[in-house]
Amino acid sequence: MSKFEREMIRHCSPTLAGMKTGNLFSYPFTSYCQLAEQLDQCNDMLNARGVYLEVLRINASRVLIYVYRESRLLKDFSCPRVDSFLQNIGYHTDDLKSCLEFLSKRIQNSSEFPHEIGLFLSYPFEDVQGFIEHEGKNCKYCGCWKVYCNENETIKLFNKYKKCTQAYYQRLLSGSSLMRLTVAA
């Protein structure tokens, strides 16, 4: 098992398990060529299961990787409130590739992280909206994200994500491959 696989499991298990649309993780690298090869290998292996890896930001020694389920992202974007919200910011939600490129540009060019990223990560629309309206303050609960609505339900979801990550990490340590741990779409 590689360090890359360990980091993917640590940060992206709920997406690999089909519980979430996407996860992000930051990964250090010394050779971009080797990193690109790892990303290509992972995409070659996981795309058949509906999971994709996309570099959103890169600097001299770290890369921000978005691991996502394309079918779920398209479904999330089909929600009228989400679609309207993203279009008002400048996203072309009818073209997923364009959306990811626009998100990447916003991450690279913004002084702060673009808050709409939560919509790419299965955060409820109300929580993304609440975070923006309250400027990240006055949340009801802080876990995987700041919760502004449905606190009890979301805490249960956070616990499911945590259990999934723990179980996946143990299975990885026991010899399961990344491919085996990735649920087909």
The pair of structure tokens assigned to 128 is: 């993304």
pTM: 0.95
Residue 152: exposure state from Cβ atoms within 10 A (0-12, 13-18, ≥19): exposed
Question: pLDDT, tens digit, for every residue of 50-60?
Answer: 999 999 999 98
Question: pLDDT, tens digit, for every residue of 20-47?
Answer: 999 999 999 999 999 999 999 999 999 9
Q: What is the pLDDT of residue 183?
A: 96
Question: pLDDT, tens digit, for every residue of 121-165?
Answer: 999 999 999 999 999 999 999 999 999 999 999 999 999 999 999
Domain ranges of the chain: 3-177
Cα–Cα separations (whole angstroms), residue 44 to 9, 49, 173, 174, 175: 17, 10, 23, 24, 21
Strands 51-58 and 146-147 come out as unpaired
| Residues forming beta bridges with residue 57, ordered by sequence position | 64
Is residue 95 scored above 80 in pLDDT?
yes
Q: Across all residues in the chain, what is the average pLDDT?
A: 96
Is residue 1 scored above 80 in pLDDT?
no
- CB contact at 8 A, 98 and 92: yes
Nearest to 57 by CA among 16, 113, 1, 4: 113
Q: What is the pLDDT of residue 169?
A: 97
